[in-house]
Amino acid sequence: MANPLLKIENLHARALPDDASASDDILTGLNLVVRPGETHAVMGPNGSGKSTLANVLLGSNEYELTQGEITFKDELINDMATDVRAKSGMFLAFQYPQEISGVSVLNFLRQALSARKGIEMSVLELRLLLMEWIEKLDIDEAFLDRYLNEGFSGGEKKRNEILQMAVLEPDIAILDETDSGLDIDALQTVANGIEQVKQERPELGVIAITHYQRLLNYLSPDHVHILSGGKIVASGGIELAEKLEKDGYESFI
């Protein structure tokens, strides 16, 4: 069995409130092991800690890890800065991607690729590299010259996140409710894009955080986990998601 790509042990974390007063832990003892090539679905109701998990894994300064350890590629990363985690091969697809006015999608990807891999590409070289993925993700070429996420539909924002994942070639991708706000056609396109990235990079680990089963109909996860009260309370295969669809989250609380 391959060594863990990502190992989370007894993870406790809390949000840092604006008034700097103490807040209760949102994650309360979460454990998870992701090996190369595995796709893990993490499901849970609102308030269960799903987005907190995504933000803590990427080292957001809006959260504090109060207990436990996160190990990535055999290195403890509890105190590692967000940009260092990204450069080392961690990728987060945001639930609500930010708009960046004045920066085109193409230039953003060019800068991100330079930071991630130290590769300096001309705009023309990068555009040629992107053509294959633009087609796979059903993106118009003019999309590359638009300002990042400005005026984008929900589907365009999520396609852009998957385009970034394809170009940056991370070792692990954390997808924070990638299905949020997508109609069925856009969801299928995005899910197919994720699967095509995995086909080209079979060692890629994926944590797909979602509220609904519908994304899993396309991703075919190796493992499904139910998050409740800040910890994983059940793990299994796709049959677990099917039980959830039938009985609801109440059966796991």
Confidence of residue 219 (pLDDT cuts 50, 70, 90): confident
Domain boundaries, the chain: 6-252
Query: Domain 6-252: which topology?
Result: Rossmann fold (3.40.50)
Confidence (pTM): 0.90
Q: What is the pLDDT of residue 7?
A: 97
Q: What is the pLDDT of residue 8?
A: 98
In the chain, the amino acid numbered 43 is M
Provide the residue count of the chain: 253
pLDDT of 127 higher than 60 = yes
CB 33 within 8 A of CB 11: no
At 58-115, the pLDDT tens digits run 999 999 999 999 999 999 999 999 999 999 999 988 776 776 788 888 888 888 888 8
Confidence of residue 230 (pLDDT cuts 50, 70, 90): very high
CB 209 within 8 A of CB 174: yes
